Amino acid sequence: MDQALRRKVGPEGKVSYLEVRNLTKRFGDFTALRNVSLDVAEGEFVCFLGPSGCGKTTLLRAIAGLEPQSSGTIRQKERDISALPPSQRDFGIVFQSYALFPNLTVTANVGYGLASQRRKRTETAARVVELLALVGLPEAGAKYPSQLSGGQQQRVALARALATSPGLLLLDEPLSALDARVRMRLRHEIKALQRRLGVTTIMVTHDQEEALTMADRIVVMNHGVIEQVGPPAEIYRAPATAFVADFVGSMNFLAGKLEAPDRVRLGNLVMSCPIQDGLESGAAVSLCIRPEDVRVRDLPAEAANRVDVTVTELDFIGAFCRATLVAGELSLVADFSSNLIRDLGVVVGASLAIALPPDRLRVFAA
């Protein structure tokens, strides 16, 4: 094993299973991927997350060989697959559109890849029965795709992708065509199945909630490059760039000026913040905080970054209320639980003392 393959990545220090190095993909004058490098550990569930046009689907298709890269290399389990056609790569894939054969039964759809490999009929039949039970459709074998719901069709597509026991499972926005309730249920089912089988999985999604709930690690992409790679909690709590902070979750961006390495001025207010390296005093910055990190309860008079604000708007969002808070030129939103709203009597026009905890603040160049 070469030096690159000895490197430990991913959860529990597992050896790299998939290596992408300096991958670039051009479509004429347009560069869809720019020198992308990534390691995926064996058994890991990785989500490519980003807005439309960020390059996440192009990267997935390059790994599958469906969209050959312009330059760069891809290695899977020590094997260079960079120039191999899809048929010679070890993966199963599930598409957004299910891509089932409408004229074949569920049994025939699931067993299609096994039949192509000329497996014995008895072996194929047993494997199909096993997979349909695995995805919760043991009685659906004789049905056709048109007789199934969207969620059931996607389960069949998943069973088909797993039929040949691939080393790599690729999911191209598999849940985006489903309604919210089915989507939520299938998230948990797919993740539980992936853990049970231990198959290395890469999923493309633009839905941050999907990525946060399903992934071991998230790869946030923008304009053909990787902005940040990390576990969901790290991506959410410690965004490395302003784009990640803005794209993943809700974030307040407060325009200010860096007065010192650990202080930001917001109009007439001076906020303590984590020490900033690489930003010079006087630089225009954005001071960022999540709406749920704004502190209100049990606030001591000497609390850091304490501000007196007025509630100007209050939007009910089910499990919580989103409050717009204003103090002079400062305006931000905060998420308050229903209990807090009731206990503190928060209404539009009410005055509140809030604090912006320094350990929850992020600072980016404006």
pLDDT at 8 over 60: no
Q: What is the pLDDT of residues 339-351, one digit of tens each?
A: 999 998 999 999 9
Structural domains in the chain plus CATH codes: 3-245 (3.40.50.300), 250-365 (2.40.50.100)
Q: How many CA atoms lie within 13 A of 35 on its CB side?
A: 0
Asked whether the beta carbons of 208 and 248 are under 8 A apart, the reply is: yes
Q: Where are the beta strands (DSSP E) in 112-241?
A: 168-172, 200-205, 217-222, 225-230
Q: How many CA atoms lie within 13 A of 20 on its CB side?
A: 25
pLDDT bin (cut points 50, 70, 90) of residue 4 is very low
Burial class (CB in 10 A: 0-12, 13-18, 19+), 2: exposed
Q: What is the predicted pLDDT for the residue at 1?
A: 34
Query: Residue 81 gets which letter from DSSP?
Result: -
User: 22-41: per-residue pLDDT in tens?
Assistant: 999 999 999 999 999 999 99
Which tens digits make up the pLDDT trace of 244-276? 999 999 999 999 999 999 999 999 999 999 998
Question: Looking at the predicted structure, is the pLDDT value of residue 129 above 80?
Answer: yes
Q: From CA 208, how far away is CA 287, in angstroms rounded?
A: 22
Is the pTM higher than 0.85?
Answer: yes
Phi, psi of 76 (to 5 degrees): -125, 115
